[in-house]
Structure 1
Amino acid sequence: MMRGVIAGLLLGLITAGFLKAESVSTEERVSDKVMAQREALGKSAAVLGATVEVSEDAPQKKLKEAKYREEHAAYTEAASAGKPPTFLEELIRQRTIAWRRHAKMALKARDYEAAEKYYFEILNNGSISNAEQKEVFIEMADLYEKQKNEIKTIAVYETFLELYPDDEMNPRVHMKVGDLYRDIGAFKFASEHYYKILNLALKSRKGAIEEYREISLQAQLKLAETEAERGNFESAERFYQRLAKLDLPADEHAKVLFQRGYLETKIGSPGKAIPALKEFIETYPRDSRVPEAHYLISDSYRKMNQSEKAVQEIFVLLKKNHNLARIDSEEWVHWKRRAGNQIANQFYKQGDYHNALRLYQAITPLSTDPQWQWETVYQIGLCFERLSVYGKAREACQWIVQGGEQAEAVSDLSKNLEQLQNMAKWRLKEMIAIDKHVDAVNNLLILEPASLP
């Protein structure tokens, strides 16, 4: 009877629309839907037969509804009295086996609607052991996961956890539910399930400690990541500090060291970020995150008003060979361009045109793509103009204008490049006008008194 109640409630909520994943957009709405599911599982429900129609090829095809219910009641009574199985009981048992086989076949054929109906029929009207019921719940969760329906998947897994609080699968189920909540942005609930894994590890028997070690480590890593995603950077950083002291696999240890430094930049502690990131680079020089670490170090120096060190850090990155790291050449060049350009832009915005100019000049040769070169050369021109080196500023603008004229000859000028060329033409025109004005003023200043009227 309990199985029928659970199945009826679960299906009723699903068919009523409480568990439609597409309607979820915020953590609050997720909470409302999942809480509705949890509350409803504790209430009574009507029998499922009126709401589920199993396909015509199902084993119950020739049975009338009233007779079927009567037979099921007789089976339940016989089972509770400890009587040996009757023909009817065995028939129901065989039907259950057939339903499950049909469910698996439908799942394999991606007929998810039919699979769902078979599973609910098993839970509501079938004859299954506790072990088999557990398997059915896991199979149902897999069904909804294949449909990318996170809310239904969560509902089934949480029902499993409520029915079987001491099951050995629970740590993995909590991990699954935590990941699902995290995927839909319900970070608070994700963290709760990761914490439950740690609590289970603390309560585990001595012989099971090693079994819990790996999943507990994963839970701590995901707690740290989740806290960072929630914007709780200080909490996340504390997790990574503790994790850094553990004996971790190399890949995980590299990730932890990098995240420590990265989170210090988010917290606003550049003085702590720099040594943490340098430790990461020194320990794992071939890691794919090394270029980003150099960028973060440079930006941290900039925030501490140590401009020369910020520039030198980018030069260190620009001189490095991509073969030293587990990263392809295109990705490596991408990071060189991104890091150099972002730091140069920051210097320019804060009025440090000299250091901005040094970086723009260093990164211009990183690509022959006109979109890249024209933009950096344009910025070089702006820097020279701000530094009152107008001759060089004109050269930069003239270089872009001439490049545009050559591209126009072969009809190879994109809209972005055309806009950049027009901007360069305008600046060039303005600078020429300013030069003429300055020359005119200078001529007035050097006129001999005798030549005056």
Structure 2
Amino acid sequence: MDRLASTTGLLELVRCGMNALICAAAFWCLPAQPAQTSPAPAPARPAATNAAERAPSGEVPNPALRQTAYLITNSLVHVTAHDPEPELSSTDPYEMLLNVGRQQRAQKNFTLAKRNFVALLQGPGPDQLKRAALLELATMAQEQNELAKAQQLYAQYLRRWPDDPSVPEVYLRQGLLFRQMGAPVMALAKFYAVMSSALTLKTGNVDYYQKLVLHAQAEIAETHYLQGNYKEAAQFYRRLLKLEAPSLNRAAVQLKLIRSLAALSHHAEVIAEAQDYLQRYPRAEAQAEVRFLLAQALKQSGRKAEALKQVLLLLETQLASADQAHSEWSYWQRRTGNEIGNQLYEEGDYLNALTVYGALAALDSSPAWQWPVWYQMGLIYERLGQPQKAAELYSQILARRNELKTATSPSLGTVLDMARWRKELLEWQNRASPTLSTNWPSTAQLGSP
């Protein structure tokens, strides 16, 4: 079996990948082909009795790829390139051997599965089943995290059947493997090879190839994003959004575009894209994150009032949804309020900071969350010259001292001690003579964190 995965495979990968970069560069400029312009479907064929008859060479991709389509899923695309295919029974001994191997692979019995797939490759069975067996071996190597061996097996497939209709998807799978292996340049070369090979194949299902090309385009953008190349990623996300592709997850693509622009500090573009996103997808789970990025961009652009409006809108909105969605929503509420509130406090904008902290305190009544927020609000009231309101907040913390026994955060004891100290300081200042009180610095200056 090891002879099947020869080392010449990687050299072939490099050659094919770099050639693909040259011949596929112009593909992005092509609009997605509408479904109604596809060639008329061929006349129906009689029911087949085995895989070799159901999938003659040059017409459809290898069924082995359809059965492992889960390996090429992408959140930017709603579906894979494959349509569902019903399981068909067969009495052909070679196809029965293939099916047994597939069942063994699904059951993680890799030793027996490998033995059956190798027997198919070395036996006199139909060529179509040999192709399926080799793809199954590559999939099995991938599932066992033997990524280099999987790459070699895919490369061997391309050498033996260079005109096979499954070639574009094999390139796609190689690209995903290369990215997983930490080789983004080779991954990009393979994704471009998907597009170039789909253009040159003269047979096959047009809809299948269109979906593969869209998937490859999405993976190119994702590869740049994952590498931190946000400028390139933003360019490719914009190109994806210009395509008229029903299977494209446009909300997910636009979210990645907004994140890329935010990482580049392109505040004006973030504002435009975020506002458009919120208008298009008012019920999206990512709405909270988009509002956070919008508020940050508005704040950095000097539009403080608009930023504060977005923050308060987010903090005051409740999400009644699944636990995971609610957890993500809560995370972005707290992060948004904390970051914007702290920025306002550091800039001396105490009134607006107080408004944000007040909304933050209402999110969660647990001591770990509410006590630090109340303490910060007390500091603000001191700076605003309202010691009575500050003392009321410190008293609220002290009144719940018994909850410290069940609290899990060790820092809460420190918050409790600081609240007690500041309250005592305010009481001493209130009892002191007006002259002494005037000559001493404010309590906020004495103990501000």
State whether TM-score is above 0.5. Answer: yes
Counterpart mapping for 1:89-168 below 5 A: 103-104=101-102, 106-120=104-118, 123=121, 125-168=122-165
Whether the 8 Å contact between 1:288 and 1:325 is mirrored in structure 2 is no
Tell me the TM-score normalized by structure 2: 0.69
Whether the 8 Å contact between 1:364 and 1:372 is mirrored in structure 2 is yes
Whole-Å Cα distance in 2 between the matches of residues 245 and 326 of structure 1? 34
Larger radius of gyration: 1
Query: Residue by residue, what CA displacement relative to the aligned partner does 1:81-110 show, whole Å, maximum 9, x if unpaired?
Result: xxxxxxxxxxxxx99889767745643542
1:288 aligns with 2:282: no
Give the structure 2 partner of residue 45 of structure 1. Answer: none
Whole-Å Cα distance in 1 between the matches of residues 414 and 257 of structure 2? 42
Whether the 8 Å contact between 2:429 and 2:437 is mirrored in structure 1 is no
Give the structure 2 partner of residue 413 of structure 1. Answer: 407
Give the structure 2 partner of residue 256 of structure 1. Answer: 253
Give the structure 2 partner of residue 226 of structure 1. Answer: 223
Which letter maps to 1:384? Y
TM-superposed CA distance for 1:400, in Å, is 1.8
Quick one: higher RCO (CA 8 Å, sep 6+), 1 or 2? Answer: 2
More helix by share: 1
Whole-Å Cα distance in 2 between the matches of residues 116 and 232 of structure 1? 40
Which letter maps to 2:111? E
RMSD over aligned Cα atoms: 3.7
TM-superposed CA distance for 1:136, in Å, is 1.3
Residues 8 and 207 of structure 1, relative CA distance in 2, 3 Å threshold? closer
Counterpart mapping for 1:11-410 below 5 A: 35=10, 103-104=101-102, 106-120=104-118, 123=121, 125-205=122-202, 209-249=206-246, 252-320=249-317, 322=319, 328-387=325-384, 389-404=386-401, 406-408=402-404
Residues 174 and 263 of structure 1, relative CA distance in 2, 3 Å threshold? same
Runs (5+) with no aligned partner, structure 2: 15-91, 441-449
Runs (5+) with no aligned partner, structure 1: 1-6, 14-32, 40-93, 446-453
Tell me the TM-score normalized by structure 1: 0.68
Which letter maps to 1:441? L
SS in 2 for 1:166: coil
TM-superposed CA distance for 1:434, in Å, is 6.5
TM-superposed CA distance for 1:331, in Å, is 4.3
Which letter maps to 2:310? E
Whether the 8 Å contact between 2:163 and 2:201 is mirrored in structure 1 is no
Give the structure 1 partner of residue 3 of structure 2. Answer: 9
Residues 393 and 107 of structure 1, relative CA distance in 2, 3 Å threshold? same
224-233 vs 179-188, which moves further = 179-188
TM-superposed CA distance for 1:385, in Å, is 4.0
Query: Residue by residue, what CA displacement relative to the aligned partner does 1:298-330 show, whole Å, maximum 9, x if unpaired?
Result: 000111122221111112223445369998555
Which letter maps to 2:416? Q
TM-superposed CA distance for 1:439, in Å, is 5.2
SS in 1 for 2:245: coil
Query: Residue by residue, what CA displacement relative to the aligned partner does 1:52-96 show, whole Å, maximum 9, x if unpaired?
Result: xxxxxxxxxxxxxxxxxxxxxxxxxxxxxxxxxxxxxxxxxx998
TM-superposed CA distance for 1:195, in Å, is 1.2
SS in 1 for 2:290: helix
SS in 2 for 1:214: helix
TM-superposed CA distance for 1:140, in Å, is 0.7
Which letter maps to 2:176? D
TM-superposed CA distance for 1:340, in Å, is 1.9
Whether the 8 Å contact between 1:10 and 1:37 is mirrored in structure 2 is no
Whole-Å Cα distance in 2 between the matches of residues 207 and 38 of structure 1? 23
Which letter maps to 1:236? A
Whether the 8 Å contact between 1:277 and 1:297 is mirrored in structure 2 is yes
Figure out how many residues of one structure are paired with residues of the other and give that number.
Answer: 362
Whole-Å Cα distance in 2 between the matches of residues 308 and 386 of structure 1? 22
Whether the 8 Å contact between 2:375 and 2:394 is mirrored in structure 1 is yes
Whole-Å Cα distance in 1 between the matches of residues 215 and 329 of structure 2? 29
Whole-Å Cα distance in 2 between the matches of residues 343 and 444 of structure 1? 34
SS in 1 for 2:400: helix
Whole-Å Cα distance in 1 between the matches of residues 312 and 301 of structure 2? 18
Whole-Å Cα distance in 2 between the matches of residues 164 and 101 of structure 1? 22
Query: Residue by residue, what CA displacement relative to the aligned partner does 1:322-346 show, whole Å, maximum 9, x if unpaired?
Result: 3699985554344323322232233
Give the structure 2 partner of residue 63 of structure 1. Answer: none
348-357 vs 187-196, which moves further = 348-357
Which letter maps to 2:403? A
Whether the 8 Å contact between 1:96 and 1:126 is mirrored in structure 2 is no
TM-superposed CA distance for 1:230, in Å, is 0.8
Residues 384 and 165 of structure 1, relative CA distance in 2, 3 Å threshold? farther
Whole-Å Cα distance in 1 between the matches of residues 362 and 102 of structure 2? 59
411-420 vs 237-246, which moves further = 411-420
Which letter maps to 1:113? T
Whole-Å Cα distance in 1 between the matches of residues 96 and 205 of structure 2? 37
Residues 327 and 282 of structure 1, relative CA distance in 2, 3 Å threshold? farther
311-320 vs 379-388, which moves further = 379-388
Which letter maps to 1:425? R
